Structure 1
Amino acid sequence: MTGNRIRGAAGAFAVGALAAHLVSTVLQNTPDSYNQDLRKFTGGWPIPGWRFFAPNPGVQNVHLLVREVPAGGAPATPWRDVTPTVSHGWKQVLWNPGSRGPKALFDAMQQLSVMSANQADFTWVTQSLPYQLVFSASRAAAADGSVALQFLLMNVFPSAPPEQRMKPILTSEWIPLDSASDPKEAAG
């Protein structure tokens, strides 16, 4: 009899905790939420903060383009898109560890977009962690034997008219590859 009461109480507690968690998650994720201080009522229990696409859905893609100066004084190569692709299949819904690298690069490119939109000083931008991450990805994509590279972040609006589909965000200076271990040394 006592065992049934304990099991019943534990089950009721679990259902109540799950219901409280779901309600607080919904409240936390309402648009323009006034519940930002809701965490102080949960005793340290984390409440997910999902925003998905609202209230500002993404309407553009950010692409990373690179061009290099080959050794031997040849002219610069044309721009080429080195944006990493992430495969999307039914297995990736359950397990997709390969998405972390491209997501980190995408987040860095988004931060550089925000800095550019807010007219941040270029010297400050070149010393930021997002710039260093994008430079590292660009350097990894550079052709062997290149002596310098330049990268370009480009916003692509797929639903815009063709003449308004692409908008440059940020173009790096030419970065020498033979002596640059990081962009701060090349920019300084």
Structure 2
Amino acid sequence: MESVWSLCVGALFACWLAGSVVNQFRLGSWRKVTAHDRFMLLPRWTFFAPNPGRTDPHLVFRDCRDCAPGPWREIGWAPPNRWLWWLWNPGRYPRKAVSDLAAAVMTGAAAATGSDARLATLSPAYIALLQCVMAQPGAVSGGLRQFALVHSRTFAAQRPLQVAFVSEWHRVEP
């Protein structure tokens, strides 16, 4: 019985790998399959994209206390001195994770329409960003918290920001 389960799980992962490989190519017939991928389990990697990203995503959040939304605060992982990034850059991995998760949430939000609009909030990318936001200090138990994805073209202090996605309000649990 155990070997049957191992075979089934192995076949599932083999199909997932094959689907992930096929998803890297923009095949017209494959789009019918990805249209049903509500949880975005088939990734698309663009390491050397023909259209590289020209903006940087930023994760911001705010709390709502007494029915009054507070100011937006950015979650930052960059060391204070950019000249040290070549030597010490602990924020590189979280920034990359936010970048990948933001792209997945944006793709899911663009694909979700009408009655499926709330399905984007069930995607693993949305839940991972929500977990990151909820782990930030300063939340009041029973209050509400909301996050947004904004894009900028630079890391300068005075940079123009473009709002790309705003989440729903989520209750902060103790």
Q: Same fold (TM over 0.5)?
A: yes
User: What amino acid is the match of 1:56?
Assistant: N
Task: Give the number of the structure whose residues are more often helix, by fraction.
Answer: 1
Whether 2:110 is the aligned partner of 1:117: answer yes
Offset at residue 79 of structure 1 (A)? 1.2
| Superposition RMSD in Å | 3.2
Whether the 8 Å contact between 2:105 and 2:120 is mirrored in structure 1 is: yes
Q: CA deviation at 1:89?
A: 2.5
Shift of 1:51: 3.4
| 1:103 corresponding residue in structure 2 | 96
TM-score, normalised via structure 2 length: 0.57
- The residue that corresponds to 2:132 in the other structure is 137
Aligned length: 122
Q: Counterpart in 1 of 2:123?
A: 128
Matches within 5 A, 1:48-127: 51-52=47-48, 54-70=49-65, 73=66, 75-85=68-78, 89-92=85-88, 99-120=92-113, 121-127=116-122
- Aligned twin of 1:6: none
User: C-alpha displacement at 1:103, in angstroms?
Assistant: 2.0
- Residue 150 of structure 1 aligns with an amino acid whose one-letter code is Q
Secondary structure of 2:165 counterpart = strand
Match of 1:150 in 2: 146
| Identity across the alignment (%) | 26
Distance 1:83 1:124, change over 3 A: farther
Match of residue 29 from structure 2? none
Secondary structure at the counterpart of residue 91 of structure 1: coil
Where in structure 1 do 4 or more consecutive aligned residues deviate above 4 Å? none
Q: Say whether the 8 Å CA contact 1:105–1:133 is kept in structure 2.
A: no
User: What is the identity, as a one-letter code, of the residue corresponding to 2:151?
Assistant: N
**For the Cα contact (< 8 Å) 1:66–1:152, is it kept in 2?**
yes
